[in-house]
Structure 1
Amino acid sequence: MNDQQLTTLFAESDLSGQPDLPPDYLPGLLAKARRSARQRRLVTMLAAAAAVLVVLGLTAVIRPHATGLPPADRTPGTPTIPDRIAPYSRLTSDVSASPPGRALMIYEYGNGELFNEWQSLALSADGDVYRQLGAVADGRQWLLSPDGRTVILAESRRATAALTLLDLTAAKVREVPLPGPMGVVLLAVSADGRKVAYSTAPLPEDMSADNSIEFQNAQLGKLSIVDLSTGEVMAVPDFQPVVAAAFAPDGRRLAFQAKRKIWIMTLGGRLETPVDVPEGWGMAPQNAWSADGTRLATTQWRTELGQTRDDTTLSVYVVDSWYGYGVVDLATGRHRKINADTDTFLGWRDRDHTIVFTPSGADNGGDEIAEVTLDGGTRTSLTRFDAGKSCELGTQTCQTYRLTVAAGLLPDLTTRPAGTAHRGPWPTWVWLVVGIPLLLVALITGFVVQRIRRARRRRAQVPPTQLPPTQLPPTQLPPTPEPPASHPSAE
């Protein structure tokens, strides 16, 4: 019906005999219209909320948000390191959910300024793959095998009855039992990854500090070597305390620091001439022996006094500073300090170059891993940590701790441009945080839509007798007027 027909209908209709509308007809009609509008707005808002949650879930709100899932590289080539280490992300998956392949390094990353927010991370040597060690490394100390394929773990806050071996290429866990539960400090792993040197001591009475076991071993620790393949343990009880160790590249000898002396012992138990170092110096805690077998890296140690269970006073040997290191030549016995007080020794590049970690002087991230020459003449930055303000909900910069590298991968290491950080599948908690609200919104939206449809069906089923009396039956519709006749054109 067009506008002209409606105008004619209302103009020619005689409504004088029709009853008046009910008094509440118009308010009721307006109320229904308002209710319908509110329902439409509610559905729109719920749909918008669902869309926002989906977008937030996809972008993760908590930056950054890379979620790639590459497979572990089964045929790795030259080890590489990105020129920028990716920032902190709560979306980093666990090794158990997606193994990263061989790791170039493992490190602790985060901040505890407002609340403790830390991750134990493994960075792949074959791509921008980051994985958390998660519950496996919680409250534990670790060593990384020289080939980067295995992480060796021991307890840091309770007795260790067995070493835990975590295969980073297959996420498999294996345990190697020890002779008995003791306080254990991991010291070194051999070049072939088969043997681990560690120290043991009785548990201290006071375990309130996180480093209680480490401090106890620094005054009472005895050296042991375990074969990870057979489980056979060789104890070296004649030296106490042993505070650092390193395997020779050929795997036949072990250097270890006992008190103020550095001793070298064949794995058959024969002792060689001890190595003298200046007062206040001792072996670097990890990867101290150079790849060519001619030098040992050193760092500063100090002596404190500690009390044993029977109130006996003993000397405790602890690292004086993680910054600054030196080198001792095994052939000549000559020791020299490297002029880099801010550097922490990580491992050997070759005979004349080391890999070091240097924290940023400013609280704005930028911790660095670099290659330096022993003469101090050349320094090459390999990578920096893109720490920014990505920790504690963007309020704090991230800090790097307990960094250890795969020593066997350092000689061939190359730097490449950083790509997208692959963090694996989302952790379970992320799916719960994103999925539960989405599910609730979907259920509420479905309920509201169903109610609206039911209301519309009920209105459609109202009997014709209840229609407003002003509606006219079809028989009273006026006829459609004929169009005016056209005039013939002039001849």
Structure 2
Amino acid sequence: MRKRPVFVVLAAVLVAVLLSVGAGLVAALLVGTGDDAEEFATPSYPRNAESLPTLISDVSESAPGRSIVLAETTGAFTDGHVLFAADSDRVRDVSAIEDRVNSDYGAATTRLSPDGRRLAVGDLSGKFDDILVLDLVTGASQRFSVGGGSTEVLAWSPDGRRLAISSEALDVLDLDTGSVKRVATPSTNATPKTDLLPGEAPMPTGGGVAPKTVDGMTKIQAAFSPDGRSIAYDDGVDIEIYPLDGAGPVVRLTDKAVWLAGASAWSPDGRRVLVTREETNDVNGATSLLAIDVATQNATRLVTFDYIDFSVPIPVGWRSASEVLLSGTDADGAFVVQAYDVDAKRRGDRLMTFGYSTYSAEFASGLIGSAVGRDGDFSGGPTPTWWRAVVGVVVGAVVAVVGAIVATAVGVPMVLRRRSAARRVAPPLPVPAGGGFVPPAYVHLVPGPVPVVPRVSGPGPASASDWVRPR
């Protein structure tokens, strides 16, 4: 009976623990489990992509559907790579990229498929030796072993069935079979070249041609032809066109000081390949955009952008055979996408403004050219698991503390009352050395010797065992 208050306290603590665990689980399940995204009838891109939600769900938890843009952003809760869906206002984080970045430069190689349904991620960390392909519609992932340590993803084929990758050379990965085919090896002649291309006019403002050098991360690039039968490859020295079936000759497009302008460099009609070159002038650095005719190898200077005006223009898609979409940083320091008419040599409208929190972006080349702009907010999707876990732990801890307080408030007074009652109980009755019983009345009331009442069990003198406590 004396342990009953302790049992009550233990039971109260157990109930508090169970309630805290249950409350934490319920809170974690109820916090932001829905997806209230707005669906669009046609592929769309956000005109302004600066104001992202505070919390963004990951692709592995909630797939966004086919996506039109992958942007590298920075913010309080959105540091990393963010996907913008093409058919809704969903945005999703891609945490898998962070495990594959180069530790020295913080760079990763990623490519959105032309139809926006898949995302390929290379491995610049050297830890995986594979290519990760994420299905943005289902959320599933697939790994393709390629070996060779760090591997860059360069370009998707137009039909989305092959990937151009680079480790020590140019390889093509067949996604249907998982096989890897060696297409080209890098050039050994690394002499910097500063000549003008055949047919190219000098810069209208004077200045010179900067040598083609590699600084930091390599600028190796590749671009599939529109029919998918050839690939243009810039190994850091020359730009050459390789037939993928191996049946035709290799065509050297140029050996001059220009860079292949990324995976979308080849025009949709197959006639031209865009290249860029760093220039020097009297005031600021500049970047020229040139078009090389595939048949004649003659070049046309399209435009020269001062670094301050529009730095590092990179083609991200085409609206037509003559209108290319360029990404770069404008005079205000914002990352933007601008249209440019190749034939008329003039700028068109601005499509997107990412703002100062975006370092770079890449696009689904098969969607961006025909997509329409939209305004409005973004849907970050279900609350990320890590945030729900935090909410669950906090709620559970609060319930546990409240339960402990209640258990203490109930159990401690019971224990104290029990101890107080135990102190008021009379002490044990004394027992004479020879046995017997002391009448209770004499214990407190009668001074002097205490009489002992014997128990007589029969005739004759009483013995020591006859002295008993009266009932």
TM bin, normalised by shorter chain, reads 0.5 to 0.7
Shift of 1:450: 6.2
Say how many residue pairs are matched. Answer: 343
Match of 1:195 among 162, 177, 182: 162
1:166: which partner in 2? 134
Shift of 1:453: 7.5
Separation (CA, whole Å) in 1 of partners of 2:163 and 2:335: 30
Match of 1:127 among 88, 98, 123: 88
Match of 1:436 among 393, 408, 428: 393
CA contact (8 A) 2:54 2:78 kept: no
Q: What SS does the aligned partner of 1:425 have?
A: coil
Matched, 1:274 2:252: yes
Q: What SS does the aligned partner of 2:239 have?
A: strand
1:385: which partner in 2? 354
CA contact (8 A) 2:328 2:335 kept: yes
Structure 2 letter corresponding to 1:200: S
Matched, 1:336 2:294: no
Shift of 1:409: 0.9
Note the 1:23-422 alignment, pairs <5 A.
69-70=35-36, 78-110=42-74, 118-140=79-101, 141-158=109-126, 161-178=129-146, 180-201=147-168, 222-237=169-184, 239-240=186-187, 243-269=220-246, 270-276=248-254, 279-300=256-277, 324-332=288-296, 333-341=298-306, 342-343=310-311, 344-345=313-314, 346-362=316-332, 366-374=334-342, 375-385=344-354, 387=356, 398-401=357-360, 403-419=361-377, 421-422=378-379
Separation (CA, whole Å) in 2 of partners of 1:454 and 1:289: 79
Residues 387-415 of structure 1: per-residue CA shift (max 9 Å, x gap): 5xxxxxxxxxx2323x1111111221110
2:17: which partner in 1? none
Shift of 1:181: 3.0
Cα distance, 1:377–1:238 mapped onto 2, change above 3 Å: closer
Look at both structures and tell me which one has the larger radius of gyration over its CA atoms: 2
CA contact (8 A) 2:163 2:173 kept: yes
Matched, 1:424 2:381: yes
Shift of 1:282: 2.2
Shift of 1:149: 0.8
Structure 1 letter corresponding to 2:46: P
Residues 236-290 of structure 1: per-residue CA shift (max 9 Å, x gap): 345437922110111111111245432222211122532237x421211221111
Shift of 1:339: 3.3
Residues 197-254 of structure 1: per-residue CA shift (max 9 Å, x gap): 12222xxxxxxxxxxxxxxxxxxxx221121111222213454379221101111111
1:392: which partner in 2? none
Structure 1 letter corresponding to 2:182: A
Q: Unaligned stretches of 5+ in structure 2? A: 1-22, 102-108, 189-218, 280-284, 416-471
Structure 1 runs of 4+ aligned residues shifted over 4 Å read 70-73, 321-324, 446-458
Structure 2 letter corresponding to 1:334: A
Separation (CA, whole Å) in 2 of partners of 1:156 and 1:283: 21
Separation (CA, whole Å) in 2 of partners of 1:125 and 1:246: 23
Separation (CA, whole Å) in 2 of partners of 1:247 and 1:362: 33
Identity of aligned residues (%): 27
Separation (CA, whole Å) in 2 of partners of 1:72 and 1:264: 43
